[in-house]
Amino acid sequence: MAFELTILGSSSATPTSERYPTAQVLNASGRFFLIDCGEGTQIQIRRQKIGFGKIKHIFISHLHGDHYYGLIGLISTFNLLGLKNDLHIYSPSQLKEIIQPQLDFLKGDLQFNVIFHPLNFKKPQLIFEDKKVEVLSFPLKHSINCCGFLFREKEKEANIKKECIQQYNIPIAQIVKIKQGAGFITEEGETIPHEVLTTPPPATLSYAFCSDTAFHPPIVEVIKGVNLLYHEATFTEGLRDWANKTYHSTALEAAKIAQMANAGKLILGHFSSRYKSADPFLEEAKTVFPNTEDAVDGKTYVVND
Amino acid sequence: MAFELTILGSSSATPTSERYPTAQVLNASGRFFLIDCGEGTQIQIRRQKIGFGKIKHIFISHLHGDHYYGLIGLISTFNLLGLKNDLHIYSPSQLKEIIQPQLDFLKGDLQFNVIFHPLNFKKPQLIFEDKKVEVLSFPLKHSINCCGFLFREKEKEANIKKECIQQYNIPIAQIVKIKQGAGFITEEGETIPHEVLTTPPPATLSYAFCSDTAFHPPIVEVIKGVNLLYHEATFTEGLRDWANKTYHSTALEAAKIAQMANAGKLILGHFSSRYKSADPFLEEAKTVFPNTEDAVDGKTYVVND
């Protein structure tokens, strides 16, 4: 199954003519998670030809406008298109109060439920899970309450060896249990260990989203070993004072987090509009963490183990 | 002085990958009026390289989201850029209540005043004037309260003939009065009429914005003789039932209004996303009003007399 991230917007507080404010879609084994929803997100989703009906879970990291101003337009469009699925929004609790006056003015009544799930800013928390995927929120260090999100596949089942099924004449009912970790007792009473019957399950994939935040090593514990890490890099070291003042990170700090977490790959984004190119960010980060790319609106990054 | 309209968005309720929701900037003799403010307006303004600091007056026709969802992002960006000018918003009175919860969450306190001017949905009203330009609102016929706007230059001064200044030895103090309509009494006591001393003033230019509305002939009285008319055409006659049901116009109806008002030129916009091209709209409208163009995002239309 696919596990891939599409960047919809990668600018910081003010959009530029080339970069929209923060928004991303993660396709995690067929679940489409929208992460932040800056102004213009619905237009970017259309351009990427992602079906609106696939988006049922939206994660809003914090209530600075460049991370949520596109939400009301998206909800309105869902409604105009006649979508009926419940929409789950994981966000700071105040978002509901902010959005409600606008929902009241929607063209036509809302045809689906919007269910708000308040985030916890004190500690990491499991906020979503189904059979295959789980999502954790974890506190970041910003000027207002802000959470990052870790999306990871659940442990997969082991692969049973076909030749063992024939050799030991294993019934179908037993195959399910063996895949989940059981051994098998043959008709002759011999116990065949799980490890002999199976090859290990495929690796689980994971993606962590960290924006907006100052350099904050406590998150390393949560995101350790993540395959793909998006970490904001609003500034380079040349504007360290600004980074400190605004609770943002430099490219160097993002790279340090990637290194400490032993991430597979790092994507930088949330660039200040002061910078005309992402090159200085990449140059700075690669001194510490070579496998770094810049976020580009419209680009898809496949997550590998 | 310039009198020209730039289209920022021309889609109807839901944006497409090529058309943003409704927004326009009118440069009326150096005043930059923003008309409606759909999602993505600030991005489109940047692309057009229109200075944010020039926009001090925003006109919101009604409270369907495709006409105002970009407002909070624009205000936020004005604030982040350090703008200090008062911002005047002419809109339905409820807009203030809708926006306030979002203003409360802006990054940093607002550095300028946002002054709301409620529209009148019963009758035409003068809502703005300065030395050179005036703006009238007038009720349209939509599913909720909605106003159109007429922007027009004030009567200009007559041009005094240079040869008359020499011939009659007219002092500077008198020139101002003559330009404004006075005649002149020579040293010999002879009265020279205003019409002899001057050539007529240049024509005043005007632009009318009519979106969203069903076919509504009472507006003709207000916009009569307008140089440039933007009139919504959400549908063509083939979807007349939809037009009736949603209080929108067809291209044919827009053309009829342009004809009845004796407009100089008609621009159609607010196209339903059902249509892949503006051609059927143009074809239909031109049967009644040949001087018709379609609104194209990013295009500027110069208003001529």
**Active-site annotation of B, residues:** 66
All domains of chain B, ordered by start, with CATH? 3-156+202-302 (3.60.15.10), 159-199 (no CATH)
C-beta atoms of A65 and B107 within 8 A? yes
In 10 A of CB B207, how many CB atoms? Answer: 29
Query: Once rounded to an integer, what is the mean pLDDT over residues B170-194?
Result: 90
Q: Write down the pLDDT at residue B1.
A: 73
pLDDT at B284: 98
Amino acid symbol at B159: N
End-to-end CA distance of chain B: 13
Partners of A15 on chain B (C-beta within 8 Å) are 42-43, 46, 77
Lowest mean pLDDT among B61-70, B105-114, B173-182: B105-114
Task: With cut-offs at 50, 70 and 90, classify the pLDDT of residue B35.
Answer: very high
B233-262: per-residue pLDDT in tens?
A: 999 999 999 999 999 999 999 999 999 999
- What pLDDT, on a 0 to 100 scale, did the predictor assign at position B230? 98
What percent of chain A shows pLDDT beyond 70? Answer: 99
Q: Which residues of B touch A77 (CB under 8 A)?
A: 13-15
State the average pLDDT for chain A: 94
> Are A178 and A197 in contact, with CB atoms under 8 Å apart?
yes
Cα distance between residue A59 and residue A56, in whole Å: 10
Q: What percent of chain A has pLDDT over 90?
A: 82
Q: What is the pLDDT of residue A44?
A: 96
**Using CA atoms, how far apart are residues B212 and B68, in angstroms rounded to an integer?**
13
Kindly give, in sequence order, each residue whose CB lies less than 8 Å from that of residue A288, ignoring residues fewer than 6 positions away: A252, A255, A256, A258, A259
How far is the C-alpha of B253 from the C-alpha of A88, rounded, in Å?
A: 42
**A107 falls in which pLDDT band (50, 70, 90)?**
low
Q: Is B148 helix (H, G, I), strand (E, B) or coil?
A: strand
Is residue A109 flagged as an active site residue? no
pLDDT digits (tens, 9 = 90+) for A189-233: 899 999 999 999 888 999 999 999 999 999 999 999 999 999 999
Q: What is the pLDDT of residue A304?
A: 81
Find all residues with CB under 8 Å of A231, minimum gap 6, and list them.
A210, A211, A213, A249, A254, A257, A258, A266, A267, A268
User: What is the pLDDT, as a whole number, of residue A213?
Assistant: 98
pTM above threshold 0.95: no
Q: Is A70 on the interface with B (CB under 8 A)?
A: yes
Least confident of A104-108, B174-178, B244-248, B301-305: A104-108
Question: Does residue A108 have a pLDDT over 70?
Answer: no
